[in-house]
Amino acid sequence: MVSTVMNTEVAMARSASPFRTHKSIAIGFALLACLLALGALLVPGFVSSQNARSILLLAAFLGLASVGQTLCALVGALDLSIPYIIGGANILLPSLMVAGLPAPVAMIVVLILGALVGAANGALSFRLQGQALIMSLGVGFAAVGAVQIYTSLGSQFGGTVFAPVPDWLRNLSAFNGKFFGLPFPPVIVIWAAVAIGLGWIMYNTWFGRSLYAVGGSRTAAARLGISEFRIWTVIHSASGAMSAITGMLLLGFSGGGFVGVGDPYLFTTVAAVVIGGTSLLGGAGGYGATVLGVLVLTVLTSLLVGLGLSFPAQQAVVGLLIVPMVAIYARSPHIRNQI
């Protein structure tokens, strides 16, 4: 029994070594370059500022939604509440603005609520560990149900909310938005800032290093005096907050609140994390890898759209490509080599 435990730890330490991570990053870049080259060759108009802008815009939303999923994956959890919190934030914000709150205040309220729901999710699911994803699903259902009850008070439709969206919010994430006069929407800059900030936090703070420690080996992390519960709750709370932000930014993109807006993010966030090379078992990977995964996924989709594939066909092709892409760098050793 002791040897099994030790071997597990050794295997995990090996998979978390810098070489493995860098290998997955290098392969990710190669994959991205291949896709871009293919797009440039096969699809007329693929290399244009229009297309680059639309790819980056869609990637920014997916990237912001994947922040929480990446953090959760690093400790071996999956957060299935993300699409529901995105949808909830997307209808709660306009409905609060209709109720008379100034937009910035309403946004702060939604952000805090998102973080609180995430924290509740983390605190409740901590003891469940392996089953935590079902708890996040339950919390997501409860949260989006409560928001819809609130938004439908006094109106017939709880799932869709129409309200005038302020111009600056629309400018933040609309396709033709301007960043200080430059021709791209500011949400791309927000995503880049979040990515850089998160990268710094993960590598230079006690919190970031503890996260990897917990994901790598719980026993060792506990010996170092790291509170597993605190880490677990904080990352779920961050996931809730980032989902709320994504939901609010999507409002600027679409112009009207719709509760189903988050649904595509249920499995695409997981796919982005996985393609990037972050292990779903925890301990290895990072947000930089997820950024690559998000870009690969978005460029691939754009390429497939350019080739004239319908949405179902795109989904099938992306699904087919996930296993080979992951197999390049994330194969586990044969069981006889794990003993």
Partner 1 sequence: MSSSGIRQVTQDRSLFVPAGLFLVLLLAVAFRGQGLFTNNGLAGAILVATPLILAALAITPIVMAGRGAVDLSVGPLMGFINVTLITWLVGNGITNPVAVIAWAVGLGAAFQFVQALVIIYVRVAPIIVTLSGFLVLSGVNLMVMSRPGGVAPDWMLSWGAGTSVFSPVLLLLVAAFAVWGVLRRTMFYRNLRMTGADERMAYTSGVPVDVVRIIAHVVGGAFAGLAALSYTALISSGDPTQGSTYTLQAVTALVLGGASLSGGRGGALGSTLGAINMFLISYLLSTFNFGTVSGFVTQMAFGLILVGSLLVNVFVTSRRAVA
- Give least dist CB 284 to partner 1, A: 12
Q: Does 140 help bind partner 1 (rule: CB under 8 A)?
A: yes
| Token reading at 122 | 């983390």
- Please report the DSSP string for 196-237 in residue order: HHHHHHHHHSHHHHHHHHHHH-HHHHHHTT--HHHHHHHHHH
Cα–Cα distance for residue pair 147/254, rounded to 1 Å:
19
Q: Does 220 help bind partner 1 (rule: CB under 8 A)?
A: no
Q: Does 143 help bind partner 1 (rule: CB under 8 A)?
A: yes
Judged by CB under 8 A, the residue of 12, 115, 221, 318 near partner 1 is: 318
User: Tokens 């892409």 sit at which residue?
Assistant: 325
Q: Does 35 help bind partner 1 (rule: CB under 8 A)?
A: no
Helices first, then strands: H and E counts in the chain:
14, 2
Given the DSSP bridges, would you call strands 160-161 and 257-258 parallel, antiparallel or unpaired? antiparallel
Q: Does 158 help bind partner 1 (rule: CB under 8 A)?
A: yes
**Choices 57-65, 133-141, 208-216, 235-243; region in contact with partner 1 by CB under 8 A:** 133-141
Give which of 228, 221, 242 is closest to 287, Cα–Cα. Answer: 242
- Give least dist CB 133 to partner 1, A: 8
Cα–Cα distance for residue pair 187/97, rounded to 1 Å:
21
2 Cβ contact partners less than 8 Å away, ≥ 6 residues apart:
none
- Give least dist CB 183 to partner 1, A: 34
Q: Label each residue of 174-188 as H, E or C.
A: CCCCCECCECCCHHH
Judged by CB under 8 A, the residue of 13, 27, 109, 133 near partner 1 is: 133
**Choices 22-30, 132-140, 200-208, 247-255; region in contact with partner 1 by CB under 8 A:** 132-140
**Choices 108-116, 183-191, 193-201, 306-314; region in contact with partner 1 by CB under 8 A:** 306-314
Which of 141/200 has CB closer to partner 1?
141
Positions in the binding site for partner 1 (CB under 8 A): 4, 7, 80, 124, 127-131, 133-135, 137-146, 148-149, 152-153, 156, 158, 267, 270-271, 274, 279-281, 310-320, 322-323, 326-327, 330-336, 338-339
